[in-house]
Amino acid sequence: MGHTDLTYKVLFDEFEVASIVAEPTLNYTLFEAEFKNSQAEQIKIFNKLEQTLPFYNGESFRNQVHFQFAYQTPVQRWFPYREGYSIKLVNAFIKELKIKGNTFDPFSGSGTTLLASRMADLNSFGIDVNPVSVLAANVENEQYTPEDIIQVEEESKKLTNIEKSKEIFQTSFDLANKVFNQDILQALLQFKQHIKAIQHEKTKEVLFVAWLSIIEDVSNIKKEGNGIKYKNRKRTPNGYINIEKERWENEKFPDNKFSFVKTKLSNRIEIILSDLKFAYGKCDKKPNIYKGNCLDFEKFFSDEIELTFFSPPYCNCFDYFEIHKVELWLGEFVSDKEEFRKLRNTGFRSNTNSLNHKPIIYKNEYLENLISFFEPQKLWNNNIPNVARGYFDDIYTLLNKLYQQTTKNGYIGIVVGNSAYSGVIIPTDSLIAEIAREIGFKVKSIFVTRHLTTSSQQKQELDYLKNYLRESIVLLER
């Protein structure tokens, strides 16, 4: 890896970029015979790709590149968004880079970059294809008057007085009976109907986001890995076992399940009200948030951007629509399987469900050389090579458009993780930097924040390559 003198002193609360830690280049000749043309040849490619890139130790950011501590952050805690990052991370870069102009997040999620920009009194733009994300971002970044807060309080009080209905509520979500205890499902649907009938629009959306935010807590599933996992499936020393659904539900949930759901919802609304009353995030710069594809962002606004800060889906085949499918279905953002399929196809080509027959225009020599090491018999899906190609084709398109709309000396900050398939590392951070250089950006820094874990099987296969499985912040300058 190439290294340069550390020129950034990013300071924000606990942040301080550490001094450079030089990582020794592995001598592939020591094990070339054992690994033939796989790991040794990969390291040759990495050395050639990374020899002039400015890598830095970014461990001071390691707790801010994910959402783990965001539940403690006012406003950001309204809707748990596991794919997000900390508002403190964005604040640090806004402050250090002395950003005064417009900011943008092409994968706005629940609105972290927008919220940080708003707190810094900056105009901002965001776009996302996921309607759940767009709603959460809009609600978190809305401007609330004292009268609005009173309305939320009044509706919250009404909600606490609701009694269990004898009506049987219906949903088009065909997995609902498996995902939820029946009494909990009926309670959720009753509260949704009540919230949807609220006339005051801001109040209705605040309570609806609160309702969406408790779904996972009161369900039989949890978001984990590439999708959702059932909580009644337990790991034991002898492997996984399934606890019978009814028995698990009786152990997990109290007898009065209607009251249980009501309490969860009321508690979440109280958290939101607390933040509103203390005016966290209050300022005059309301973000512009759009529902759409990031590759078409120029169709939504033409303003110049000084800082774009985002985290794209990683090239790891995670399907983020699958992760949010319970909220999408139960919240009525989709009503049938065809609608859900079409929504998946609007996303970045980062998984096999998002391949939409769009032609692959951009080709990268480093990527093609790495794909040539894939062993088809070890890939769980034959489309994975085209996922990788499509992903970086989309990255190329996005960075090209950002280059056109970024101010001179403006910046792009990208939080991204590398991935692995059949013992082959895809060094997304380095490839993004290489693509950015081709377009005309200067690669200012690549902060390596932490190393990522993978399956035990992949760990064994990666062996000497495991240090390349990392999460980084790539900083570009126009």
Strands 288-291 and 124-128, by their bridges, are parallel
Find, among 319, 269, 256, 301, the residue nearest to 130 by Cα: 319
DSSP 247: H
User: Phi then psi for 105, rounded to 5 degrees?
Assistant: -130, 110
Helix, strand or coil, per DSSP, at residue 327:
helix
Q: pTM higher than 0.95 for the full model?
A: no
pLDDT band, very low/low/confident/very high, at 110 (cuts 50, 70, 90): confident
How far apart are alpha carbons 389 and 384 in whole angstroms?
9
Angstrom CA distances, 287 to 138, 159, 403, 462, 473, stand at 8, 30, 21, 43, 24
Tokens representing 130 are 């996921």
Long-range contact list for 162-169, CB < 8 A, 24+ apart? 162/190, 162/191, 162/194, 162/262, 164/190, 164/258, 165/190, 169/193
How far apart are alpha carbons 273 and 25 in whole angstroms?
53
Mean pLDDT (the chain, rounded)? 86
Q: What is the pLDDT of residues 223-273, one digit of tens each?
A: 876 678 888 887 777 777 888 989 999 999 999 999 999 999 999 999 999
Helix, strand or coil, per DSSP, at residue 242:
strand
Strands 233-236 and 239-242, by their bridges, are antiparallel
Mean pLDDT value across residues 358-376 = 90
Mean pLDDT value across residues 422-445 = 95
**Entry field: residues in the chain:** 478
Nearby residues of 351 by Cβ (< 8 Å), 6 or more positions away: 226, 313, 317, 318, 319, 387
Tokens representing 313 are 């889906």
Tokens representing 238 are 């002898």
How confident is the model at residue 27, as a pLDDT? 44
How far apart are alpha carbons 446 and 54 in whole angstroms?
6
Q: What is the pLDDT of residues 213-226, one digit of tens each?
A: 999 999 999 887 66
CATH class of 11-130+287-319+339-477: alpha beta
How far apart are alpha carbons 442 and 430 in whole angstroms?
13
Q: Does 94 have pLDDT greater than 60?
A: yes
Query: What amino acid occupies position 350?
Result: S
- Residue 336 or 23, more confident: 336
Strands 305-310 and 288-291, by their bridges, are unpaired
Q: Sign of dihedral through CA atoms 89, 58, 126, 324?
A: negative
How far apart are alpha carbons 75 and 271 in whole angstroms?
9
Nearby residues of 221 by Cβ (< 8 Å), 6 or more positions away: 179, 228, 229, 230, 231, 326
Residue 100, Cβ density class (10 Å: 0-12 exposed, 13-18 middle, ≥19 buried): exposed
The answer to whether 398 and 294 are in contact (CB under 8 A) is: yes
Nearby residues of 216 by Cβ (< 8 Å), 6 or more positions away: 80, 222, 223, 326
The answer to whether 27 and 464 are in contact (CB under 8 A) is: no
Listing DSSP states for 147-202 in one string gives: HHHHHHHHHHHHHHTPPPPSSPP--S-TTHHHHS-HHHHHHHHHHHHHHHT-SSHH
How far apart are alpha carbons 449 and 414 in whole angstroms?
12
Instruction: Parse the chain into domains and list their residue ranges.
Output: 11-130+287-319+339-477, 146-277
How confident is the model at residue 460, as a pLDDT? 56
Ranges 46-55, 184-193, 393-402, 462-471: which has the least confidence: 462-471
DSSP 233: E
Nearby residues of 338 by Cβ (< 8 Å), 6 or more positions away: none
pLDDT band, very low/low/confident/very high, at 71 (cuts 50, 70, 90): low
Q: What percent of the chain has pLDDT over 90?
A: 60
Tokens representing 261 are 């759901």
CA angle 91, 471, 437 (to 5 degrees): 80
